[in-house]
Structure 1
């Protein structure tokens, strides 16, 4: 045999076996390698995204690429207006399906598309988000990075024709890698992916996602150095009796988070009948007008956050920037600008925390904690409450500060803000709320999570065969004695005959071995059947059955030419039903 042909056959057999083991989650080493590769891809994409945004900023703004404060009033107004118009025209020329971008799009594809993310949408996200950031819109880069990294990992899984349960894990790998590379916080990236995107914690997912975050962070280290994006000065915690300030701040930030989410939803429901280019241009114009009072709101605003840590902004300026940033972000994202919400959320938290720190210092200048501490706690509390990610927020603070003393006050601030926002005002996370606005639901109940983890090839019954419509009795008996439990006529691909029913029928018939039996005319019950790809998960199979009103599915090969086995509703239920004894 030709060596090349032999190698192709070997690779084909190996990947077919790998797909079966991945469907049953019995390939931890291979999934770990895939996660590492996905993390490297996410890291490279994040580096490219930063370069695409920072190089134009450095060209026009100088070495401090976020120094929008140096622009004249006319440019503060024109730059975001023209940028919003340019992005709006780009979206105006796109099909509606290609306009779906951001973290909400990733969650929607996980909920309704098994994690299959179109690569074209990722390209739209890359360039449109870069244009938004460069033109000074009040948006972040982490949300777009999550979409782009997840889409690249999903594309890799689709090219390898991996089962959908593995593609879901790869989407988590892309998310973790993007967050880890964005902040140089690998642990926060892991927790964010599990807590916000996948909404599950399993050992099988942890390993590849951890490796993805580590590899993406390594790429970021090589490109930009090991320093985190925020320059956090040394801080000290005042007396423990000052912790009530932290609790009060948590309540205030919980209220702020509620206002922010509801404002964002309010604007997302306005001007929906207007052209997309007009909505985005108006968003840019509003940002420009607000920037006339507070130019610090433009761009991702990390330079402003660092200034807050150093105590360079007074109380009055903090409050003005907070109000303007709140309105600009809610307007921009509500009107559809393809940017991220994570970065603005952190800046809002830092502004609110910095204001609380300034008030505490005015009240008790001798014994108050460092203003940087309150700003950091505000960031964590706002992130935890707005994204419904308290653990990710806590780990991010720990990694950014490298100071374990922040854990106690951070726990108080984050939990208080979380309780105030989600239980006091019944406000879900911003991502779930935006999905709700679109009429979508993100299910995270235990049964759905279990069904997403297993592929259909793990549960399918391989005792299936197809026979001619007219078949001799002895041929039919041979099939049944060979372990066939499902039989289908070549001329009726929509129905199945049950092997046990056929055996009972043959036992009552006095035909000879050579007599022909018409499978389509047998007086036996038939089971309605459709087909499903071997890539699908059990959740996808159950949803397919409900949509097509069938009780069984034929699992077809990746090329759609061969039925590999049969999966029934009862088999799916048995897979998650616990034994009674």
Structure 2
């Protein structure tokens, strides 16, 4: 439901900006609405501070460190603020909030059906994996994300819980709600072996973009933290106005931007402009503290960067048919370098392309990007965000339960 609601709201936002472009006299009304929306979001996240931002760092804290989760209030605030942000076209994704909503939905159920703390944490993990699976229609990637990002280790408990919930969520989303994969790629050509050398600059660029996004996101959060919360949120909403009027393709999480990058039917200058606008717009949107994710914007920025360097490489001999491949490979590399989750990145794009023939070049590009971002000393973005949250709210650690590693060790000793 969350995904369907946001998709509809994004369409409404595009219509609103089309209307404002033709009737500029109503821009003043839109600005007043932005001030009201900014204050409303501020009041809601003041009521439930854990509902601000992505949601994935909060789930990591809930599962791994024993931070408490407020199930129903998080659901309410996530839905309302997600709709408001989508109606104004903010450049935030749905995947982080979907993970948080999944875990928040699982929390009251876990409290009802089990007294065992480890089982409760596994149910939170199941809910998180189900949320990501429903958001992207990619169940295998959702399970791997639970292993690689949330737990940072392989566990048979996580594997079974995450896979079962992710598959069920995908079945419900596909057969009941009629959802399809978020990014439905056109036919991506198979890469000849003599083209593999072109993956090197794609991987290096992806590693650099991942590093840039992490630095930019954290710097913008630090900048916005110095001004009142309602003003930061209002500024983020107001920045959407020029974007929506002049480059509406940059609105929303980034699905349209990925499609533009994949088809590569625009000029290089417009592609680079889109890339720059998307980076700035994504950082201001998320940095303000608005409830929304960064997963999809990072994918979009990677795709735009890949298409841009692909267009440049065609001037040096690369066949133009492979620009689409550059967009896809760089998208996976940027995600892997930002999140530091290479396996999830490879599998996510593999599920979205619907073909295994791109697995080898995807893996090569992702590994190059991962190595490049490592050389730049890139730290995982969700770990940075969780650390930032904990530094700002010391009560999280004071009221936390046992860590996941402690619970698993106790379980093994009991067995």
Structure 2 length normalisation: TM-score? 0.88
**Which of 252, 263, 277 lines up with 1:324 in the alignment?**
277
More helix by share: 2
Corresponding residue for 1:371? 323
1:317 Cα deviation (Å)? Answer: 1.0
Corresponding residue for 1:391? 343
8 A contact 2:92–2:285 mirrored in 1: yes
Whole-Å Cα distance in 2 between the matches of residues 246 and 413 of structure 1? 6
Say whether 1:401 aligns with 2:350.
no
Corresponding residue for 1:92? 42
**Which of 153, 159, 162 lines up with 1:200 in the alignment?**
153
8 A contact 2:2–2:79 mirrored in 1: yes
More strand by share: 1
Whole-Å Cα distance in 2 between the matches of residues 109 and 315 of structure 1? 44
**Which of 148, 168, 174 lines up with 1:221 in the alignment?**
174
8 A contact 2:61–2:67 mirrored in 1: no
Corresponding residue for 2:124? 171
**Which of 319, 338, 348 lines up with 2:301 in the alignment?**
348
8 A contact 1:79–1:288 mirrored in 2: no
**Which of 54, 69, 75 lines up with 2:7 in the alignment?**
54
Whole-Å Cα distance in 1 between the matches of residues 27 and 206 of structure 2? 30
Q: 1:327 to 1:55 in 2, by over 3 A?
A: closer
Q: 1:425 to 1:379 in 2, by over 3 A?
A: same
- Match runs of 1:492-503 below 5 Å: none
Corresponding residue for 2:107? 154
**Which of 361, 369, 378 lines up with 1:427 in the alignment?**
378
1:81 Cα deviation (Å)? Answer: 5.3
Whole-Å Cα distance in 2 between the matches of residues 193 and 80 of structure 1? 40
Q: 1:353 to 1:162 in 2, by over 3 A?
A: farther
8 A contact 2:89–2:244 mirrored in 1: no
Choose 1 or 2 for highest CA Rg.
1
Corresponding residue for 1:34? none
**Which of 182, 185, 191 lines up with 2:135 in the alignment?**
182
8 A contact 2:310–2:322 mirrored in 1: yes
Q: 1:273 to 1:316 in 2, by over 3 A?
A: closer
**Which of 259, 266, 270 lines up with 1:313 in the alignment?**
266
Whole-Å Cα distance in 1 between the matches of residues 352 and 45 of structure 2? 40
8 A contact 1:138–1:328 mirrored in 2: yes
1:240 Cα deviation (Å)? Answer: 2.0
Structure 1 regions of 5+ residues with no counterpart? 1-47, 460-574, 577-581
Structure 1 length normalisation: TM-score? 0.64
8 A contact 1:138–1:298 mirrored in 2: yes
**Which of 402, 411, 435 lines up with 2:363 in the alignment?**
411
Q: 1:242 to 1:198 in 2, by over 3 A?
A: same
Whole-Å Cα distance in 1 between the matches of residues 32 and 66 of structure 2? 35
Q: 1:409 to 1:181 in 2, by over 3 A?
A: same
8 A contact 1:84–1:280 mirrored in 2: no
**Which of 207, 214, 217 lines up with 1:254 in the alignment?**
207
Say whether 1:129 aligns with 2:87.
no
**Which of 251, 266, 287 lines up with 2:219 in the alignment?**
266
Report the number of matched residues: 403
Q: 1:416 to 1:78 in 2, by over 3 A?
A: farther
Structure 2 regions of 5+ residues with no counterpart? none
1:181 Cα deviation (Å)? Answer: 1.4
Deviations 1:511-530 (A, max 9, x none): xxxxxxxxxxxxxxxxxxxx
Say whether 1:72 aligns with 2:13.
no
Q: 1:242 to 1:432 in 2, by over 3 A?
A: same
Say whether 1:275 aligns with 2:225.
no
Report the 3-state secondary structure (helix = DSSP H, G, I; strand = E; otherwise coil) of the residue aligned with 1:233.
coil
Q: 1:146 to 1:76 in 2, by over 3 A?
A: farther
RMSD: 2.9
Whole-Å Cα distance in 2 between the matches of residues 299 and 114 of structure 1? 31
Corresponding residue for 2:192? 239
Q: 1:117 to 1:76 in 2, by over 3 A?
A: farther
Q: 1:57 to 1:119 in 2, by over 3 A?
A: same
Corresponding residue for 1:211? 164
